[in-house]
Amino acid sequence: MRCWNNCPAQSNPFDEMQGCDVTELPADLPEAAAWVDERGSLCPAPIIALGKAAEQWPSGTVIGLLTDDAAAAVDVPAWCRMRSATLLDSIELADSVVAYTVELG
């Protein structure tokens, strides 16, 4: 996983985000407290990354997942069901990348 979760240890996740090369993220993504960038990785890696990210945020937080893994179309809703999270939106971007936003349960 790239982006903030892979940054050098910092206590504030927002600081971590600043420490990353966030310019890599596509423009005009929906609003989210953090984006988990799993472009290029295959199942179950995107869901594992989403799960790890979710552990660091309180209930009600909106986080995003960027992935081009086709299995995510089924696995993100299934993960939301198992973790009592809500899938807010999924937006198809270029190169088969889909941006999912979930509200943590």
Binding site for other proteins (CB under 8 A): 42-44, 47-48, 51-52, 70-71, 73-75, 77-79, 81-82
Distance of closest approach, residue 102 Cβ to other proteins, in angstroms: 15
CA dihedral angle for residue 65, residue 61, residue 17, residue 14, rounded to 10 degrees: 180
Distance of closest approach, residue 67 Cβ to other proteins, in angstroms: 12
Q: Are strands 86-92 and 62-67 parallel, antiparallel or unpaired?
A: unpaired
The alpha carbon of residue 64 and the mean position of all alpha carbons in its chain are separated, in whole angstroms, by: 4
Distance of closest approach, residue 27 Cβ to other proteins, in angstroms: 29
Match 């979760």 to its residue by tokens: 5
Using an 8 Å Cβ cutoff, are 77 and 31 in contact? no
**Closer of 18 and 74 to other proteins (Cβ):** 74
**Closer of 1 and 29 to other proteins (Cβ):** 1
**Closer of 29 and 87 to other proteins (Cβ):** 87
